[in-house]
Structure 1
Amino acid sequence: MKDKRSFIKEVLGHPLGALSSFILLILYLTAFLAPFLAPYEPSDQDLKRTYHPPTKIYWKDGRLQVARYRNVDPTSASYKEIPGECSPLKWFIHGYSYRFMGIIPADIHLFGVDKPDRVYLLGSDSTGRDVFSRLVYGSQVSLSIGVIGVSLTLVLGLLIGGLSGYYGGWFDNVVMRLTEFLMAVPGLYLLLALRGVFGVKFSSAQVYFLIVIILSFIGWSGFARVIRGLVLSLRSQTFIDAAVVLGQSSLRILLKHLLPNLASYLLVSAALSIPGYILGEAALSFLGLGIQEPSASWGLMLAQAQDMKVFMLNFWWLLTPGVAILITVVAFNMLGDVLRDLVDPKFRLHQAKRG
């Protein structure tokens, strides 16, 4: 436990480690509290407020107020603020019903305004849906796919690569030829081919699990190949021979003796691989093969923002999912770099010399 605490302390003591950990903590807290943070349901439409710009919030009469707008030109979605008219921003307001953590019924939301007014922190889309609400709900899909997909990939890579390196022989030859085949096929084409085989007539939940399985299937081969090499180097060590002499099973040796020695590699690889899974989901959804309406994901929101009208009329708020993807990918890459430096013996030796 002491080692784990000291390692976490080292990560948080590194400037980039602390920054990336803080950003990821905020992102995953946002995903976890999405129903509470979102003032509207992601599918809640208002056709009278299409392409509404972000609403101004200012201080007036001792409280925060939300400006009211009038659509002066529906053809170009041009809105003008109505001078002197506003609606008070309320905290912990009752709104649409949801189940917190999928279990607890609730209808309390962090902020909102009384109907028929609406507050658009990040504007609205082509059907008047709140972009902020869809963004926080989309984070549940995009962020969880990365964690779940990498977890499945690590389990598959560890078991298959570990057994391949430990046993060798015909099993090792078959596994390595399979991994070489998967690694030789371009990942994007394989991703599209596998998704196309299953068609598009699935519910959002089914598509979610299908994407996780496809991404895990594509990613396990690289992990398995590296883990096989690490196990081959560890298999000849004295402590492994001692475990064999004591009559321990192969699975026990793999989990009890080999896995702890692979933990540092698995941790770094997981942090560096999660962005690939997030981008994979975004690519599928962007191409119309991923998450479908009425659900929301960052990739789906970007696909809906590729209309020329968005660029011609400068509806910049519809591109915020791309910013969210960029921030997430950069944060995971920074954290992975910090973890790699901390588990690298050369880095630790350099730090010890400086100390």
Structure 2
Amino acid sequence: MAESKDSILKKIGNYIKNIFSKNKKDKYERLEYASQSQLIWYRFKKHKLAAFGLTVLAILYFTSIFAGFVAPYTHVERIGDYKYAPPTEIHMISEENGLRTPFVYSYSKELDPETFQYEYVIDKSTEYSLKLFVESEPYKLLGFIPMEHKLFGTGDKDAPVFLFGTDNLSRDIFSRILIGGRVSLFVGFGGVFLSFIIGSLLGGISGYFGGVIDEIIMRAVELLMSIPKIPLWIAFSAAVPRDWTAVQTYFAITMILALVGWTGLARVVRGKLMSLKNEQFAMAARAAGASDFRIITKHLLPAFISYLVVHLTLAIPGMILGETTLSFLGLGIQPPAVSWGTLLQDAQDLTVLADYPWHLIPTAFVIVTVLMFNFIGDGLRDAADPYSSK
């Protein structure tokens, strides 16, 4: 009986071993016949920081796109008389009922007899439960989907929820951050796309043809790179009319960032093409009658596409910081439109920072976004490097 049991266990062990060995063999066979993009994606997924950064950015972009539903208020809505209200404390332990579902208390204003200023005091007489999918005023999600619910709230006007506090006009900072992310997060894509096109084409033309064309383009690049970025941004943005709409200002800022952000890529593309244009595959395409434009775009640029992809991921944070800087200086997005840069304008006042430090919370979103893009860039660089050991 013991031998029978041992044989059964041995068969089970061999069966499990065969399954794992087969899966491992199938995995290696898939990798053996995988394309370059599939190999890059496989190596990218193994990069833990890059995967983490991709997850965090996916959450940020998702909440910004659907900010109308996630944010409990609009970016211009004034909620009662809650000027400079502190962040709402969320509780799960009740003095009367012990552990329970998340709830909040309402605020009440009291005059401080020593400073003669109103201070917010928590009123613990009533507990207000936090609910999901609470009813709200009718609105249109993404501009065309009729909705009458928000993601969370108390459903009671006497107990508003301010996760990040309010500003000097009683507007919810959390809602304004989510809605402002639509501008700050997506301005990078537009600016990077335009700068990528300009830098790739001009750098490709300069490196491929050389001569007078190379001299003209490179002198223009050096001229733009010699000018400090912030004064150049200010000069361009000052030309934008103040009476433009938020959409027009958004596209103007995108163009401004793109016009001054292509120079570094152009120099790298020029150097790469100068070393590749005399390679055998380029000479074969030229002998086959391919046009210069086709050789540049179809043969030479794809030869170092991995670098270009990494450059894109690292250039987006620069564009986000550029928009934040312009809006922070009052030269970008103008109220009532909102971005992370406009939210940080209140942080210029040291008195506000000392008394209401939650106005610095948008800074954390800018820092996290830039860091996550850098993590993704590092992951793509390692994944695209054939000599990387990771």
Q: By how many angstroms is 1:184 displaced?
A: 0.9
State the match for 1:20 in structure 2.
53
CA distance in 2, matches of 1:205, 1:180: 32
CA distance change for structure 1 residues 296 and 227 in 2, over 3 Å: closer, same or farther?
A: same
State the match for 1:334 in structure 2.
375
CA distance in 2, matches of 1:168, 1:306: 48
State the match for 2:120 in structure 1.
79
Superimposed CA distance per residue, residues 309-328 of structure 1 (whole angstroms, 9 cap, x where no aligned partner):
32232x22211100111111
State the match for 2:90 in structure 1.
57
- Asked if 1:324 is matched to 2:365, the reply is yes
- Quick check: 2:346–2:352 contact (8 Å CA) kept in 1? no
Superimposed CA distance per residue, residues 188-239 of structure 1 (whole angstroms, 9 cap, x where no aligned partner):
1111111112243322111111111000000012211111111111101111
Q: By how many angstroms is 1:294 displaced?
A: 1.3
Q: Specify which of 330, 333, 350 is matched with residue 291 of structure 1.
A: 333
Runs of at least 4 residues of structure 1 off by over 6 A? none
CA distance change for structure 1 residues 252 and 115 in 2, over 3 Å: closer, same or farther?
A: same
Alignment of 1:190-205 (within 5 A): 190-205=232-247
State the match for 1:257 in structure 2.
299
State the match for 1:4 in structure 2.
37
CA distance change for structure 1 residues 228 and 207 in 2, over 3 Å: closer, same or farther?
A: same
The range that moved more, 219-228 or 208-217, is: 219-228
Q: By how many angstroms is 1:105 displaced?
A: 2.9
State the match for 1:134 in structure 2.
176
State the match for 1:109 in structure 2.
150
State the match for 1:216 in structure 2.
258
State the match for 2:107 in structure 1.
69
CA distance change for structure 1 residues 297 and 234 in 2, over 3 Å: closer, same or farther?
A: same
Q: Name the aligned partner's letter for residue 188 of structure 1.
A: I
The range that moved more, 130-139 or 247-256, is: 247-256
- Asked if 1:343 is matched to 2:384, the reply is yes
Name structure 2 gaps, 5 residues minimum: 1-33
Q: Calculate the TM-score normalised by the size of structure 1.
A: 0.92
The range that moved more, 284-293 or 160-169, is: 160-169
Superimposed CA distance per residue, residues 100-155 of structure 1 (whole angstroms, 9 cap, x where no aligned partner):
33433323321122242311111111111011100101111111011221111111
Name structure 1 gaps, 5 residues minimum: none
The range that moved more, 66-75 or 251-260, is: 66-75
CA distance in 2, matches of 1:77, 1:268: 52
- Asked if 1:311 is matched to 2:353, the reply is yes
Alignment of 1:164-203 (within 5 A): 164-203=206-245
Q: Specify which of 300, 314, 317 is matched with residue 272 of structure 1.
A: 314
CA distance change for structure 1 residues 263 and 80 in 2, over 3 Å: closer, same or farther?
A: same
State the match for 1:33 in structure 2.
66
Bigger Cα Rg: 2
- Quick check: 1:95–1:109 contact (8 Å CA) kept in 2? yes
Q: Name the aligned partner's letter for residue 184 of structure 2.
A: S
Percent of pairs with identical residues: 40
State the match for 2:4 in structure 1.
none
